[in-house]
Amino acid sequence: MAKPPGRQYKDEIYEQFARIGKAVANPRRLELLDLLCEGPRTVDALATQAGQSLTNTSHHLQMLRAAHLLESEKVGTYVTYRIAGDDVCALFAMVRELAESRLAEVERVMQSFLSEREALERIDSAGLLARMRDGSVTLVDVRPTEEYAAGHVPGAVSVPLGELERRLGELPRDREIVAYCRGPHCVLAVEAVGLLRARGFDAVRMEDGVRDWRAHGFEVETAKLAA
């Protein structure tokens, strides 16, 4: 028996909606979206930063691209992926915020991780602004340089986590250091603050990332990478 036209339409349209849900219903793919919302990346870079094999990373990226959430470009032997539009990052942000507000496990996992690594102060964008106005802090962006170039908090100095140990001499010891990375669930700033404090610096972590900063209506700067 043929379906009524209205039922046929409902089945087909919700099947298309479900394509988006299926594409993002995987923790690895969500992490890749989070990384790509910071800026375009090659498959190799994404695999390294997400701690995945190249094969698995490529598979997840292709699934996201099939749902038209990503775009890709091949230059030579390298394939670079980028977010298909700002609405994709808005989707990720809504998923994150919904999980934070509805799932007690999110807070439990966060506290379990942070309690072992920091009995230290955390600040948000508003708190940082107040300290920046009185000139009492040095702001350090510990993300990879390409993310800093794509967009950073004005006044921030780029010191990727992997370079922090050897560049400690560039940081003032008479001012508070505020480190930030990709947002509340990024561990780069947590590790940076731990290292800074172990070396005698007064350091805190800003929970917000650049996307959160921009969402609050604050200005974001870009920069050119050195040739």
CATH code of the domain containing 177: 3.40.250.10
Q: Which of 47, 74, 89 is the last residue of a domain?
A: 89
Rounded CA-CA distance 13/124 in Å is 41
Domain with residue 54: its CATH number is 1.10.10.10
Statement to judge: residues 82 and 168 lie in one domain: no
Question: Rounded mean pLDDT of 201-210?
Answer: 92
The whole-number pLDDT of residue 121 equals 65
Percent of the chain topping pLDDT 90:
77
Establish if 70 belongs to a structural domain: yes
CA distance 55 to 182: 25
Separation of alpha carbons 160 and 176, rounded Å: 18
Look at residue 116 in the predicted model and tell me its pLDDT.
Answer: 66
Residue range 35-47: mean pLDDT, rounded = 95
Instruction: Tell whether pTM > 0.85.
Output: yes
Residue 181's domain comprises 115-215
Phi, psi (rounded to 5 degrees) for 200? 90, 10
Element containing residue 10 per DSSP (H, E): helix 5-24
pLDDT of 226 above 70: no
Mean predicted lDDT score pLDDT of the chain:
92
The set of catalytic residues is 181
Same structural domain, 152 and 193 = yes
Domain assignment present for residue 161? The answer is: yes
In terms of DSSP bridges, do strands 137-141 and 176-180 run parallel, antiparallel, or are they unpaired?
Answer: parallel
145 lies in the same domain as 207: yes
Domain count for the chain = 2
Rounded to the nearest 5°, which phi and psi values hold at 185? -105, 10
Lowest mean pLDDT among 23-27, 113-117, 173-177: 113-117
Q: Which of 168, 165, 172 is nearest to 135 (CA)?
A: 172
